[in-house]
Structure formats: structure tokens, C-alpha cells
């Protein structure tokens, strides 16, 4: 059975665990870097990216996470999780893990409306997928190998680059777990071709 970890340093951890369980996979609450060796994929939850980064450093996760990504293991980042994955952060000197060729602007929707919910059409995933945005970032730029999966208000809000999936919103806060199912499917396909 596929085992997917949820990085459990801060943020909406349990909600992701429930969404993954509904997608019929085994879940692991990841609190120590060694646990990365036992999983097929990893979710970075939403929360607060600066706090999460501080805890990544404090609990010696930085290098192991870079290695996990360098090995091509799938990662799904939602909201603050997408911020952690970006190669570039608009207006900030340093990115965090830099595993995707995307530029992310933090709190970009938040300035207009703190939080809102919309139904999004997401390529390869489905139509009218429920999406909750909370002080959400936008994906300002996407590199040539990045596939844009969804836009809202003319801005990229979901994309994929090989084994890495990122979205600006919180798919774990709704009962609609099609994006989690898509991530599980990505892992299955990678396992078959490995």
C-alpha cells in the first residue's frame, strides 16, 4: 500500500491525514527526518510558511527534505506548503526549499479578501473542485517545465512540475478530495515507471 507522510511541524496536518485516508492510502505523521525514508510521498500542509521554515531548521529537516526532493520523491504543497516549495519568492531575498521552478507571492489574495471559497476547474483533476483560499499566495510565474493546472482571477493557483504538485488553496479543508486523489495517482504512476 502507498504510504504518504504529512509534515507535522505546524499547520493543517490532521485535515490532510483525513483527506489522504479517504483516498485510501496509509498515512504517516512526519515529526522526525528519519521518517522520510519510509514514505512514498509527502504533503506540506498550509499554515504559516515562516514559522514552518523555522521549525524545519530547528528539527534538522532542511537537508533531508532537499534530498527527498532531489531523489524525485513526490511532494504536494498546499498554501504555505507551496511557498516552501517555490524556487523564488517575490519581494523576498531567499526562498526556502526551492524544489519547483515557480515564483510565489505570499498573501497575494489575502490583501484583497482574507479568505474565500470558489469552485475551480483543475486540469487532469476535475471540474468545480472546492477550493478554500486563506491569506493565499499566487503563483506569479511558472518555468517551462511547469504545467499550470488551474487559474483563478487570471492567476495561477495550481501547478505541477514532474513529481511536485503545488496549490495556493486548501483542498484539505473541504470534503472534496479529488486533488489528494490526483496526488495519490501521481505516486502510483511514478512507482510503476520506477
Considering only the stretches 33-41, 76-84, 91-99, 174-182, report the one whose residues sit in contact with ligand GLN under the rule CB under 6 A.
Answer: 76-84
**47's grid cell:** 499554515
- Which residues, 6 or more positions from 62, have their beta carbon under 8 angstroms from its beta carbon? 56, 97
Nearest distance in Å: CB 45, ligand GLN: 8
**64's grid cell:** 533531508
Nearest distance in Å: CB 98, ligand GLN: 16
Catalytic one of 15, 16, 79, 167: 79
Positions 100 through 119 that interact with ligand GLN (CB under 6 A): 106-107
Longest Cα–Cα distance in the chain: 44
Looking at the DSSP assignment, which residues form a beta bridge with residue 81? none
Catalytic one of 15, 96, 172, 180: 172
Alpha-carbon distance of 150 to 57, in angstroms, equals 32
Q: Should residue 158 be labelled a site residue for ligand GLN when binding is judged by CB under 6 A?
A: no
Q: Would you say 47 is a known binding-site residue?
A: yes
| Interface with ligand GLN: number of residues (CB under 6 A) | 11
**182's grid cell:** 490526483
**How do 41-44 and 75-78 pair as beta strands?**
parallel
Q: Would you say 5 is a known binding-site residue?
A: no
Q: Should residue 80 be labelled a site residue for ligand GLN when binding is judged by CB under 6 A?
A: yes
Positions 31 through 60 that interact with ligand GLN (CB under 6 A): 46-49
- Asked about 170 being catalytic, the answer comes back as yes
Q: Should residue 88 be labelled a site residue for ligand GLN when binding is judged by CB under 6 A?
A: no
Q: Would you say 117 is a known binding-site residue?
A: no
- Asked about 79 being catalytic, the answer comes back as yes
- Asked about 172 being catalytic, the answer comes back as yes
Alpha-carbon distance of 191 to 193, in angstroms, equals 6
Q: What Cα–Cα distance (Å) separates residue 189 from each residue in 11, 108, 148, 163?
A: 28, 33, 19, 10
Alpha-carbon distance of 76 to 180, in angstroms, equals 9
- Active site residue ranges: 79, 170, 172
Residue numbers in the known binding site are 47-49, 106, 134-135
Give the interface with ligand GLN as residue ranges (CB under 6 A): 46-49, 79-80, 83, 106-107, 134-135
Annotated binding site for L-glutamine: 47-49, 106, 134-135
Amino acid at each position: 500500500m502507498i504510504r504518504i507522510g504529512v509534515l507535522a511541524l505546524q499547520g493543517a496536518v490532521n485535515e490532510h491525514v483525513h483527506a489522504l485516508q479517504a483516498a485510501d492510502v496509509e498515512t504517516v505523521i512526519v515529526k522526525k527526518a528519519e521518517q522520510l525514508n519510509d514514505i512514498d510521498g509527502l504533503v506540506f500542509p498550509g499554515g504559516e510558511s515562516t514559522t514552518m521554515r523555522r521549525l524545519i531548521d530547528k528539527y534538522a529537516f532542511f537537508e533531508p527534505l532537499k534530498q527527498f526532493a532531489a531523489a524525485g520523491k513526490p511532494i504536494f504543497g498546499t498554501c504555505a506548503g507551496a511557498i516552501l516549495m517555490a524556487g523564488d519568492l517575490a519581494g523576498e531575498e531567499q526562498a526556502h526549499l526551492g524544489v519547483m521552478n515557480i515564483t510565489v507571492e505570499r498573501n497575494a489574495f489575502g490583501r484583497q479578501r482574507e479568505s474565500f471559497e470558489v469552485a475551480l476547474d483543475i486540469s487532469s483533476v476535475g471540474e468545480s473542485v472546492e477550493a478554500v483560499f486563506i491569506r493565499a499566495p499566487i503563483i506569479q510565474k511558472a518555468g517551462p517545465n511547469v504545467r499550470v493546472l488551474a487559474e483563478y482571477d487570471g492567476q495561477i493557483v495550481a501547478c505541477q512540475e514532474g513529481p511536485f504538485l503545488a496549490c495556493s488553496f486548501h483542498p484539505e479543508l473541504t470534503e472534496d478530495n479529488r486533488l489528494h486523489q490526483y496526488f495519490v495517482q501521481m505516486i502510483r504512476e511514478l512507482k510503476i515507471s520506477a
